[in-house]
Amino acid sequence: MPDNRHAPTRNLACVTVQAQGGGPSAAEAARTIAAAANAATLATLTADGDPWASLVAYGLVGGTPVLCVSNLAEHGRNLAGDPRASMSIVAASDDTDPLAGSRVTLAGTVTRPAVAESDAARQAYLDAVPGAHSYLDFSDFTLWLLQVQRVRWVGGYGRMESVTGKDYHAAAPDPVALGSARALAHLNADHADALVAMARAFGGYPDTDSAECASIDRYGLHLRVRTARGEARARVDFPSALDSPDQLRSATADLARAALRRR
Amino acid sequence: MPDNRHAPTRNLACVTVQAQGGGPSAAEAARTIAAAANAATLATLTADGDPWASLVAYGLVGGTPVLCVSNLAEHGRNLAGDPRASMSIVAASDDTDPLAGSRVTLAGTVTRPAVAESDAARQAYLDAVPGAHSYLDFSDFTLWLLQVQRVRWVGGYGRMESVTGKDYHAAAPDPVALGSARALAHLNADHADALVAMARAFGGYPDTDSAECASIDRYGLHLRVRTARGEARARVDFPSALDSPDQLRSATADLARAALRRR
C-alpha cells in the first residue's frame, strides 16, 4: 500500500475510490467464503437437462470442494448422468437483507477422486461433516470433486467480480477469518471512539460522526461511517497483512492508538 | 388420529412407525419452509446449458415464488434465455450438521407476471425484501414468477418425499410456525419434566429417560427421546390442529398436564 494512504488530509473522492479497492482480492474472498462453510446449494442437470438446486454438505481439498452424495438422491443421479455442476456458498451474515451479504458461485465439472486423491478427499469431507462417518462408506454414496473452472464472487450490492479457476486455486483463504467475528463484535461493542478516529484519520472521512466495523480481514477493516453528508463505506488498512487470528487484537489496538493520536 | 394414539401402553414397534407418520404433510412442510424464508439458491441454465447456482431473494404470492433479478446478472441472463429453473430453500437450523435440517426444492419454469398479477408480485417481493424499493423499478431489473411444477421436500436424514405442484399449491404453510421457535426454546429450557412425561405417556416411549423438543407444528411436537435402549424420535399430537401461534402456550400446557397426570 502507498504511504499516503495514512495521510490525514487528502482529496475525498480519490480516497473513496482507493479505499473501495482495499481488502482481499475477489479470489481470496471466494476462497475465504468457501473455507468458512460446510454447506452449499448444488446446481446439477436432470436427465432432461433441467437445472436442479439442492442442499449439499462439502469439504475442501485446497480450494476443491468434495461432495458425498447418495446415488439414490436426485442430485446423485444427476451428477452420474452429467458432470456439469456449480455450487453457491453464502457467507454467514446477520443482515436482514440476504442480498447485502457475500456469496460465491463455483462452477465446473465433477470427477471421481483418483486413487491417490481418495484418502484426502474422504478425510476432507469427514473434517467438514463429522456425522458422515456413519454413511460415507456405504456403497450407495459417491465422493465427487468439483473441479472449479470459473468463479463468480458477489460481496453485496454493487460489489462483484469474476475469477478464473486458476486465480481461485492460486489464492488462499484469509488466515484471520476464524477470529474476525469476535474481533468485530468487540470493536463495535467497546471501541466506538476508536472506530470513529480510524475513519477520520485513515478512512478518508475526516467528518465522520459515527462508525461501525462491517468486516475485518487480514489486510484491515471495512467501516460503515456516518457523516453529515450521509453514510459511506470506508477502508482502513493494517500496516502489513496479518497471518493469524492471534494478531488481530494487537493490530487493531495499534491502529486505534495511531488514529487517536491524530485527533 | 385414532384414539389409541394416546393410550399409555401399546406395541412399541407399531407406535414408532405411527409416530413417524405424524405431523404436517410433505406439501405443508414445503409451503412452511418457503413461507419462513426470503432467500434461496436458484439453479438456472447458462447459454451452454450448464447449471448455474446463485443466491436470490424472493417473495411469495400464495406458494409461487417472485424473483426480482438484474438482467445484467448471470442468473438474469440465464432466465431470459431459458425459463427452466429450480430453487432450494433451507429452513433455519442450529444443528452443526447441515444435512440434519429441512429443505425443499421447488422446480418449474419462470414467467413474467401478467398485467393483472404484476402489482401483487411487486408487493410480495417488497414485503419480503423491503430494501428492494431502491431498485425494484429500475429498467434493468425484471420480476419473474417461478411456476412450481414439482417439489422435493427433505426433512433431514431419511425423511424425504416428492410432491406434485398441484399438492404444493393446495397445501398451506403452518400457521403456528412464527411462534414455534420461541415455544420450543421455552419447553426445552423450563419444562424438561413435561417433555419426558409426554414422551412416556403419548409418544410411545414409556421408558424415556430424557427428552427434548425437536420441532413444533400445528399438529403437535416432534421429540428426541433417550431411553436405556438408545435414542429415538417420538411424535406427540395435539388433540386438534392449531390455527394460530397464540394457541401454542395453552395447547402445550394442556398436553403437559395430561401427560403428568398419567405418571
Instruction: Give CA–CA dist B236/B22, Å, rounded.
Output: 8
Q: Among B74, B85, B88, select the one facing A54 at the smallest CB separation.
A: B88
B31 touches chain A (CB under 8 A): no
In degrees and rounded to multiples of 5, residue A23 shows phi and psi of 90, -175
Q: Produce one character per residue of A116-137: b if its CB has 16 or more CB atoms within 10 Å, e if not.
A: ebeebbbebbbebbebbeeeee
Question: Nearest-CA neighbor of A35 among A105, A114, A91, A109?
Answer: A91
Give the contacts of A52 (CB within 8 A, at least 6 positions apart): A43, A44, A45, A46, A74, A75, A78, B43, B51, B86, B105, B107
Greater model confidence, A10 or A61: A61
Q: Which of A41, A42, A39 is nearest to B100 (CA)?
A: A39
Comparing A16-20, A97-101, A173-177, B258-262, the range with the smallest average pLDDT is A16-20
Q: Do B53 and A38 touch (CB under 8 A)?
A: no
The yes-or-no verdict on residue B2 having pLDDT over 80 is no
Please give the pLDDT value at position B21. Answer: 47
pLDDT tops 80 at residue B10: no
Q: How far apart are the C-alpha atoms of B132 and A69, rounded to whole Å?
A: 36
Residue A117 has pLDDT above 60, yes or no: yes
Residue with cell 433479478: B69
Calculate ∠ Cα A134-A139-A140, nearest 5°.
90
The reply to whether B72 touches chain A by the CB within 8 Å rule is: no
Q: What is the pLDDT at residue B14?
A: 29
A145: its cell numbers: 470433486
Q: Looking at this protein, which amino acid is placed at residue B36?
A: A
Q: Is the pLDDT of residue B13 over 80?
A: no
8 Å CB contact of B43 and A57 = no
Which pLDDT does position A135 carry in this prediction? 86
Please say if the pLDDT value at position A19 is more than 50. no
DSSP 8-state class, residue A117:
H
The pLDDT, as a whole number, for residue A263 is: 72
B122 pLDDT higher than 80 = yes
The mean pLDDT of chain B is 90
Is residue B223 less than 8 Å (CB to CB) from chain A? no
Q: What is the pLDDT of residue A16?
A: 32
Give the per-residue pLDDT at B158. 83
Is it the case that residue A69 has pLDDT exceeding 70? yes
Assess B94–A contact: CB distance below 8 Å, yes or no: no
Which grid coordinates are listed for A138?
456405504
pLDDT in tens, B47-82: 999 999 999 999 999 999 999 999 999 999 999 999
Give the model confidence (pLDDT) of B74-108 as tens digits.
999 999 999 999 999 999 887 889 999 999 999 99
Inter-chain contacts counted by CB atoms under 8 A, chains A and B = 115
What average pLDDT does the segment B179-206 reach?
95
Q: What DSSP string runs through chain B?
A: --GGGG-SS--HHHHHHHHHT-SS-HHHHHHHHHHH-SEEEEEEE-TTS-EEEEEEEEEEETTEEEEEEETTSHHHHHHHH--EEEEEEE-----SSGGGS-EEEEEEEEEPPPHHHHHHHHHHHHHH-GGGGGTTTSTTEEEEEEEEEEEEEEEETTEEEEEEHHHHHHS---TTHHHHHHHHHHHHHH-HHHHHHHHHHTSS-TTEEEEEEEEEETTEEEEEEEETTEEEEEEEE-SS---SGGGHHHHHHHHHHHHHHT-
- Name the residue facing A55 among B50, B98, B130 (closest C-beta): B98
Say what angle helices B177-190 and B248-261 make with each other, to 10 degrees: 40
The reply to whether residue B86 touches residue A52, judged by beta carbons under 8 angstroms, is: yes
pTM recorded for the entire structure = 0.87
Predicted confidence at residue B52, as pLDDT, reads 98
**Å between B173 CA and nearest CA of chain A:** 21
Mean pLDDT of A236-256: 95
Q: Is A115 exposed, middle or buried (0-12, 13-18, 19+ CB in 10 A)?
A: exposed
Sign of the CA dihedral with B119 first, then B120, B123, and B128 last: negative
What are B122's three cell numbers?
411487486
At residue A145, does pLDDT exceed 70?
yes
Could you read off the pLDDT of A83-95 as tens digits, one per residue? 999 999 999 887 8
pLDDT digits 0-9 by tens, B240-257:
999 999 999 999 999 999
Cell of B117: 398479477
* B241 has a chain A CB within 8 A of its CB: no
Q: End-to-end CA distance of chain A: give it in Å, rounded.
A: 23
> Could you give the CA distance from residue B73 to residue B61 in angstroms, rounded to a whole number?
24
pLDDT at A157: 85
The mean pLDDT of B153-178, rounded to a whole number, is 94
At residue B137, the pLDDT reads 83
Task: Give me the amino acid identity at B256.
Answer: A
Residue A14: per-residue pLDDT: 29
Task: Decide if pLDDT at A258 tops 60.
Answer: yes
Residue B7 has a pLDDT of: 32
Residue B184 pLDDT > 70, yes or no? yes
Cα separation, B205 vs B216, whole angstroms: 18
Cell of B73: 446478472
Region B148-172 average pLDDT: 95
Distance from C-alpha of B170 to C-alpha of A4, rounded to nearest angstrom: 64
3 state SS of A159: strand
Nearest alpha carbon to residue A157 among A217, A222, A93, A101: A101
pLDDT of residue A91: 94
Report the range out of A157-161, B26-30, B69-73 with the highest average pLDDT. Answer: B26-30
Helix (H) or strand (E) holding A61: strand A59-61
Asked if residue A62 has pLDDT above 90, the reply is yes
**Pairing between β-strand B220-227 and β-strand B230-237 as defined by DSSP bridges:** antiparallel
Confidence of residue A169 (pLDDT cuts 50, 70, 90): very high
Q: Which three cell numbers stand for residue B18?
A: 405411527
The pLDDT mean for chain A works out to 90
- Choose the weakest-confidence range: A48-52, B45-49, B133-137, B194-198: B133-137
The helix-helix angle for A248-261 and A177-190 (nearest 10°) equals 40
Between the two ends of chain B, the Cα-to-Cα distance in Å is 23
* Best CA proximity match to B47, nearest among B15, B74, B29, B21: B74
Nearest CA in chain A to B107: A52
